[in-house]
Structure 1
Amino acid sequence: MNMNFGLFQEQTLKLVMTPELRQAISILQYSALDLKNYLLEQAAENPVIELQEISAAAETPVEQKPTPEIDWKELVSNRATGDYSFANHESTYNPLDHVHAPSTSLYEHLREQLSYVKGLSGKQRRIALFLIGNLDENGYLDIATEEASRQLGVEVREVEEMLSLIQYFDPVGVAARNLQECLLLQLRHAGLDDERTVRVIEEHLDDLAYNRFSKISDKLRIGLQEVQAIADLVRSLNPRPGAAFSLAQPRFVVPDVTVEKVAGEYVVLVNESTAPRITISKFYENLLKRSDSESATRQFIQEKLNAALWLAKSIEQRRLTLLRVMQAIVEKQIDFFEHGPDRLKPMTQKEIAEQVGLHESTVSRATSNKYVQTPRGVFELKYFFTSALATANGDATSSESVKRRIKALVEAEDRSQPLSDQKLSELLAAEGIEISRRTVAKYREEMMIPSSAKRKRYA
């Protein structure tokens, strides 16, 4: 074999991941709320960018018009008109303005009740406030009474007295040291703390959770029906009494796309109301046009202007991609929109990519962490991509349809003799759906349906 060294020229084509391309890819996979936060960050870094809030669309468009071509140079000169925005029929209504927020915390709620208790010394109030301040978000005491007495420099007996007082406060079960104590406090408050129920909670709480009723019946020498009644009572209690006062920031699902039925046809609209509109600062625009501006200043403004224009172009590209992908999904899943989730067809991202002329990875980014509002509810875009399962007649059905059928069979079963995974598999086979027992178990667990042993009832 001859191996020679030399210099050669050749032409090759390759994709270079420029910062602009990386930005476009990131924008494509942002959800509506993530895109808004990203635009706020860009506006803080780029002085040329000004953001103008867009009100939420409330009226239904009569028809869908073709997308016009965008002149990005004209965008700069017509900054105040917002001609590149496609959100028509705007109104000032924003549903998030009417979401109720918690008005008080658990600490404030308990401290207020403590202020109503008369006859307490300053020392006792200090101990009680210390204990209230050491409750976790679920309402449980997050510190041992011995450790509390050491830090406060008081006797354990004094801490126990104040703890007993707080445990009578609302919500019932608060300031418990463990789950058993929390449940017992609620039973005691309701006057239902009979001996057998207390023993089940203290000695057999795990058995109760796993429906091992026969073991409890043998140990306590009571009937299965009585064990079932105790289980129903315990499951009606609140294991997290302080959760109702949680001040954690709620996360809302804001649909990125809306599908509406207009004049018998389904119209796809991309939600632009959450992201502010990009405009160019008039000050920097005039500064760029001035002939006496320094070259360094003009170069800086031009770079920032190019970045702003590329950002606007990337956002518009995201909108067009979302629109095309969702239109293809609607066309493929028209039976779902007409008849409901039971008619969902098997569909892959590759099929949609081939239909709209995009790469499969682009479709994956466009549907990632995004939601669509339809006449049948709000769904994640990934919901429409399901695997295919064979039927007896040679057709295919979606895994989501099979899950719904499993759920329906479980809801209609006789709880005294619940259906096992094998029996569910046989019933589905009788309906022409070929599915193994292991697949049934997998789908059941995904829907958080307990096993047949845990669903069994004795009364």
Structure 2
Amino acid sequence: MKQQLIQDQRQILMPLLVQQMEILTLPLPELREKLREEAEKNPLIKLENPVPEGGKWRLKRQSFLTAPDFVFENAADTKGLLDHLREQIHFAGWSEREEEIAMLLLTSLDTNGFLRQDVKDLIQGTDYTLEEVEQIRQKIMRLDPEGLASRGVHEFLVFQAEETFGPESLEARLLKEVPDLLEKRLYSHIRKYYKLSEENLQKVLENLAELKPVPVTGWGESAMTIIPEAFVDVEGDKISIRLNEYYIPDVRLDQYYLSLAENEKLSREDKKFLKNNLNSAKTLIENLESRKEIVYRVIHALVEYQKDFFIKGARYQKPLRLRDIAEELGIHESTVSRVVKDKYIQVQGKVIPLKQFFSASVKNVSQEDVSTKSIHDMIRQIVAQEDKADPLSDEQIVSILENKGIKVSRRTVAKYRGILGIPPAHARREYR
């Protein structure tokens, strides 16, 4: 009897938990579409445009102001993917030449976001070199959405595996070393070659199945809608956060069908139908309230941790892991991952992916963690200020960083320089 009760509870809870996780994962444009679909199939759900006065839900540390104009239902509530990429490039401080090359590549992508054209043909008639174009392509692949300008499905899959599981992970190695065996599903050969147990191989295959086949769909049309989850306002050393509650309609219970459910003349089948839909509607409302609270808590913790970034600039970004935020809030790391996935905040007019605030770290001379992204910014500024007639070598950049308290190897500087699309010293020299 007890076992049956537990099983019944699981059957009830599982759909609720699945919906809760789904709603938490969905970015705002997809969430709005989800609510419209729910309202179409459930007569107890009534959608109303939100009133721009804050609403009843709020946290003590949060104040709601009048909704910004562009989040209302009009032609200005969407941002094209190309504009979104331009903002990221501008925010990262790319040079004018780098931006020109980036636009050349981005406007040459196919509908899935792949670069199929021969670069030699693209740069014909320009003074761009194959080397610098490739450097920019690699940088574009690390923008949001990741993997744009990949050469095809295989390169995109390898890129995702390396970024998600690590360059030396088994997932990445299989894609690079035995793609033909994976494609033909010769799993026994893979197990034998890599000496894997059936359980280990199954886990790797499950991880690979989660990778996206293409960076985007519909590139060049309406490939992506970017709506910020929250607005972060910075005035001096004060930072305020406002959730974007005005893009999503309010979900309410339809009073007509509520009263109808009390009608004793209804058949048992009709009453059951209304009761089931009432429970579904209440669950949806609860899950939406839960989403608001969790999203706000994560963004608030992230902003608090990266306060120097918002006040002083990108070079002050600290290293941060999903686990750090999860431990701070007492929630599971996978929950933080769902909040961060495909979500954005608007900071001083710029829309920034939440995942941009997470990065690995290196130790400075005081054995303190320093974000690799802040080191990227330092290298970019060092090169921007160098004598163009006598550009700095990687060894000289190492010395300058060491004077700033950052101890990294020449190889690391060369790697970061490549990620930033900065050519080596000899290629940066300008003759007068």
TM-score (ref. length: structure 2)? 0.59
Match of 2:317 in 1: 344
Change (3 A) 1:315 1:21: same
Q: Please give the per-residue CA displacement for 1:404-443, whole angstroms capped at 9, x wherever unaligned.
A: 0011112223344443444433332232211123332333
Match of 1:118 in 2: none
Q: Please give the per-residue CA displacement for 1:321-346, whole angstroms capped at 9, x wherever unaligned.
A: 01111222232222223322222222
Match of 1:188 in 2: none
Is 1:97 paired with 2:70?
no
Shift of 1:386: 2.4
Contact preservation (8 Å) 1:344, 1:398: yes
How far apart, CA to CA, are the structure 1 residues paired with 2:221 and 2:280?
A: 36
Change (3 A) 1:416 1:407: same
Aligned match for 1:334, one of 307, 320, 325: 307
Is 1:323 paired with 2:296?
yes
Change (3 A) 1:379 1:178: closer
Change (3 A) 1:447 1:305: farther
How far apart, CA to CA, are the structure 2 residues paired with 1:430 and 1:263?
A: 29
Is 1:26 paired with 2:19?
no
- What pairs up with 1:135-150 in 2 under 5 angstroms? none
Matched pairs, number: 305
How far apart, CA to CA, are the structure 2 residues paired with 1:138 and 1:381?
A: 26
Change (3 A) 1:67 1:410: closer
- What pairs up with 1:363-382 in 2 under 5 angstroms? 363-375=336-348, 377-382=350-355
Aligned match for 2:268, one of 277, 286, 295: 295
- Contiguous gaps of at least 5 residues in structure 1: 1-8, 69-85, 103-136, 140-176, 185-200, 212-245
Contact preservation (8 Å) 1:52, 1:277: yes
How far apart, CA to CA, are the structure 2 residues paired with 1:100 and 1:284?
A: 34
User: Per the alignment, in what secondary structure is the counterpart of residue 292 of structure 1?
Assistant: coil
How far apart, CA to CA, are the structure 1 residues paired with 2:396 and 2:378?
A: 13
Shift of 1:182: 9.2
Match of 1:41 in 2: 37
Amino acid at match of 2:75: D
Q: Please give the per-residue CA displacement for 1:191-248, whole angstroms capped at 9, x wherever unaligned.
A: xxxxxxxxxx8xxx89x4448xxxxxxxxxxxxxxxxxxxxxxxxxxxxxxxxxx962
Contact preservation (8 Å) 2:54, 2:64: no
Shift of 1:403: 0.8
Contact preservation (8 Å) 1:337, 1:376: no
Match of 1:253 in 2: 226
Match of 1:215 in 2: none
How far apart, CA to CA, are the structure 1 residues paired with 2:17 and 2:79?
A: 40
Contact preservation (8 Å) 1:87, 1:272: no
User: Per the alignment, in what secondary structure is the counterpart of residue 18 of structure 1?
Assistant: helix
- What pairs up with 1:28-427 in 2 under 5 angstroms? 28-54=24-50, 57=52, 66=60, 89-90=66-67, 94=71, 97-98=75-76, 208-210=129-131, 248-249=221-222, 251-261=224-234, 265-375=238-348, 377-427=350-400
Contact preservation (8 Å) 1:54, 1:276: yes
Change (3 A) 1:380 1:294: same
Match of 2:410 in 1: 437
TM-score (ref. length: structure 1)? 0.56
Change (3 A) 1:65 1:247: closer
Contact preservation (8 Å) 2:389, 2:430: yes
User: Per the alignment, in what secondary structure is the counterpart of residue 66 of structure 1?
Assistant: coil
Q: Please give the per-residue CA displacement for 1:25-75, whole angstroms capped at 9, x wherever unaligned.
A: 1111211112112212222332322222236x5x899xx75399xxxxxxx
Shift of 1:354: 1.8
Amino acid at match of 1:432: G
Q: Please give the per-residue CA displacement for 1:126-158, whole angstroms capped at 9, x wherever unaligned.
A: xxxxxxxxxxx979xxxxxxxxxxxxxxxxxxx
Q: Please give the per-residue CA displacement for 1:75-98, whole angstroms capped at 9, x wherever unaligned.
A: xxxxxxxxxxx9664576647634
Contact preservation (8 Å) 1:386, 1:399: yes
Contact preservation (8 Å) 1:340, 1:376: no
Contact preservation (8 Å) 1:49, 1:279: yes
Contact preservation (8 Å) 2:45, 2:253: yes
Shift of 1:303: 0.9
How far apart, CA to CA, are the structure 2 residues paired with 1:99 and 1:310?
A: 28
- Contiguous gaps of at least 5 residues in structure 2: 81-105, 109-117, 133-218
User: Per the alignment, in what secondary structure is the counterpart of residue 327 of structure 1?
Assistant: helix
Change (3 A) 1:181 1:44: closer
User: Kindly, what percent of the aligned residue pairs are identical?
Assistant: 28
How far apart, CA to CA, are the structure 1 residues paired with 2:378 and 2:399?
A: 13
Tell me which moved more, 283-292 or 46-55: 46-55
Match of 1:239 in 2: none
Amino acid at match of 1:295: R
- Structure with larger Rg: 1
Contact preservation (8 Å) 2:79, 2:227: no
**C-alpha root-mean-square deviation of aligned residues, in Å?**
4.1
How far apart, CA to CA, are the structure 2 residues paired with 1:101 and 1:308?
A: 31
Amino acid at match of 1:97: A
How far apart, CA to CA, are the structure 2 residues paired with 1:181 and 1:333?
A: 40
